[in-house]
Structure 1
Amino acid sequence: MHDRFTSVAEAAAREAGHLIRDRIGRAREVGEKTSNVDLVTEVDKQSEAVIRTELLAAFPEHKILGEEGVAPGSAASAEALAKALSAEYLWIVDPIDGTTNFVHGFPGCTVSIALAHRGEVIAGVIYDPLRDEMFSARRGGGAYMNGEPIHVSEEETLSVSLLATGFPGDREWAREVNLRGMAALTPVCRNIRAAGSAALHMAYVACGRLSGFWEIDLNAWDLAAGSLLVQEAGGRVTDTEGNEYNLEVRHIAATNGHIHNQLIRVLEQADATGL
């Protein structure tokens, strides 16, 4: 059954990905959610509708938590997740992770789809339609990119590690916290990247392109699929204090495992955990 969960999710992600590839940089309706860096377009909504249709056609008894069906803001996201967690099977969907990139025509837009069973993520896919890279994982079944097994990188120290983070939409608090982390980590790691998609960063940790990723104030749909990818690829996923990941975690650290404690320690010393 787990193979069917993944195959249906992959098919839904590919269909949504066609919309993204066809419309990147050409959105007609661009709106703001919580700020002018938290955007939504008609393609986000169309993509989520496509995914919902595909998932419910295959699994009509399952529940779906999608970003575009939730009111803006961290509190609303947390509340929606809390209400949805009682579902036996819950699909968690981000129809376009990297909407700002999408609006500007900047590569780095993904579709992220995860399935949780009684609160535990058991299947996840992240699809980059611009590179045609499909990342997929199932609990206990490994992680893959376009059908080939992937594994996290082997860096053992921050000094040789390439990290990634983002710039949270909340400029009042979360961005300031994240910038403290950047300031503390930049001198001690090889370098830091910010591609504009948390899901893409997680996929890149899973396949070894990044040594680690952290960010403050993300949502379940940003992280659920990527958390399983990293874990099944041999990495580690926790909150920014080192507590093991669950769907309610909003401040994330995902690494190859070797550098995890080092990363957490720097964030704690810089008062950059958000916790």
Structure 2
Amino acid sequence: MNHNINIPIRAARRAGAVIIRYLEQRKDVKVDIKGKNDFVSEVDRQAEAEIIEVLRKAYPDDAIIAEESGNYEADSDYQWIIDPLDGTTNFLHGHPYFSVSIALKYKKRLEQAVIYDPLRDELYTGIRGKGALLNDRRMRVSGLSGLQGALLGTGFPFKIPHHFECYMNTFKALHPQVSDIRRAGSAALDLAYVAAGRLDGFWEIGLQKWDFAAGVLLIQEAGGLVSDFSGGQNYLKTGNIVAGSPKVFKGILQSIQPHLSESLKV
């Protein structure tokens, strides 16, 4: 591959600078409603524009899937998957948990990943076959032998409320078995935390591919496992994801499967 990881790193840092610049003036930020419980701000759009400018300057022939501006179709095997501000609601409330997420897919495989936490200046990077790093230090998923003592991350399906009862059943199945469960509001950063061993596992229903594409590769390169709810590899299509260190991953999957509706088992 002729794609340099320093390019998406530069793009993520530029987007992060936009986010931080607006943070103290966030109450004056223009916000539009995309749908129920789904917001987009001028910060999202400006951060995304910064990312696209960097990527298109370096790789003008690549395709881009971006959360806010849609698709830049191209006849290319290279496809960038971008979330300029994962955790917009957190940002708008000054809740300090949000991130920039950029992934590169070549044909059907994720090849590069960058997740940037601009508040903490923490940069998570991964390259297929070369491992995953947090600020230049190698990341490994946690070594827990099962769910006992695990700290899990998750997200409520607030955009798809018809799945909420099913989700709560999975939550009830897992909660008695683990140390605790966190719902922090940025799936990309949650997945980066799994790769770094700060969370032992994660599950969520109905994510968009830009929410988790980069995080998936980080976890895989840090020694973890990722699947859809059936245990397969169709998560980029379904948006349903289970991730974690190997034995925690297995425990999550086995615990939630009996509580899934038929539509979520595919």
Q: Pairwise CA RMSD of aligned residues?
A: 1.9
Matched-pair contact (CA < 8 Å) for 1:90–1:117: yes
Alignment of 1:122-201 (within 5 A): 122-201=111-190
Structure 2 CA distance for aligned equivalents of residues 195 and 166 of structure 1 = 7
1:28 and 2:19 matched = no
Q: Which residue type is aligned with residue 55 of structure 1?
A: L
TM-score (norm 2): 0.93
Q: Which residue type is aligned with residue 241 of structure 1?
A: S
* Residue in 1 that maps onto 2:4: 5
Alignment of 1:49-68 (within 5 A): 49-68=49-68
Structure 2 CA distance for aligned equivalents of residues 40 and 138 of structure 1 = 30
Structure 1 pair 97/49, CA: closer, same or farther in 2 (3 Å)? Answer: same
CA drift of 1:255 comes to 0.5
Q: Which residue type is aligned with residue 105 of structure 1?
A: G
What CA deviation, in whole Å up to 9, does each residue of 1:91-112 have, x standing for no partner?
A: 0000000000011010111000
Matched-pair contact (CA < 8 Å) for 1:174–1:274: no
Structure 2 CA distance for aligned equivalents of residues 64 and 271 of structure 1 = 33
What CA deviation, in whole Å up to 9, does each residue of 1:14-39 have, x standing for no partner?
A: 0000111121261521122121x211
Unaligned runs of 5+ in 1: 71-79
What CA deviation, in whole Å up to 9, does each residue of 1:194-227 have, x standing for no partner?
A: 1100000100000000000000000110111000
Structure 1 CA distance for aligned equivalents of residues 230 and 207 of structure 2 = 15
What CA deviation, in whole Å up to 9, does each residue of 1:236-261 have, x standing for no partner?
A: 01002211355324100010111222
Matched-pair contact (CA < 8 Å) for 1:85–1:118: no
Q: Which runs of 4+ in 1 moved over 3 A?
A: 83-87
Structure 2 CA distance for aligned equivalents of residues 43 and 226 of structure 1 = 22
* Residue in 1 that maps onto 2:105: 116
Which of 92, 97, 103 is 1:103 aligned to? 92
* Residue in 2 that maps onto 1:257: 246
TM-score (norm 1): 0.90
1:274 and 2:260 matched = no
* Residue in 2 that maps onto 1:18: 17
Q: Which residue type is aligned with residue 49 of structure 1?
A: A
Matched-pair contact (CA < 8 Å) for 2:160–2:206: no
1:248 and 2:237 matched = yes
SS at match of 1:155: coil
The alignment of Structure 1 onto Structure 2 pairs a total of residues equal to: 262
Q: Which residue type is aligned with residue 163 of structure 1?
A: L
Matched-pair contact (CA < 8 Å) for 1:93–1:112: yes
SS at match of 1:241: coil
Structure 2 CA distance for aligned equivalents of residues 118 and 160 of structure 1 = 39
CA drift of 1:177 comes to 2.7
Structure 1 pair 193/86, CA: closer, same or farther in 2 (3 Å)? Answer: farther
Structure 1 CA distance for aligned equivalents of residues 220 and 75 of structure 2 = 24
Which of 198, 216, 223 is 1:209 aligned to? 198
Name which of structure 1's ranges 243-252 and 106-115 shifts more when overlaid on structure 2: 243-252
What CA deviation, in whole Å up to 9, does each residue of 1:169-208 have, x standing for no partner?
A: 3243233332222122111111000110000010000000
Structure 2 CA distance for aligned equivalents of residues 254 and 86 of structure 1 = 32
Matched-pair contact (CA < 8 Å) for 2:166–2:259: no
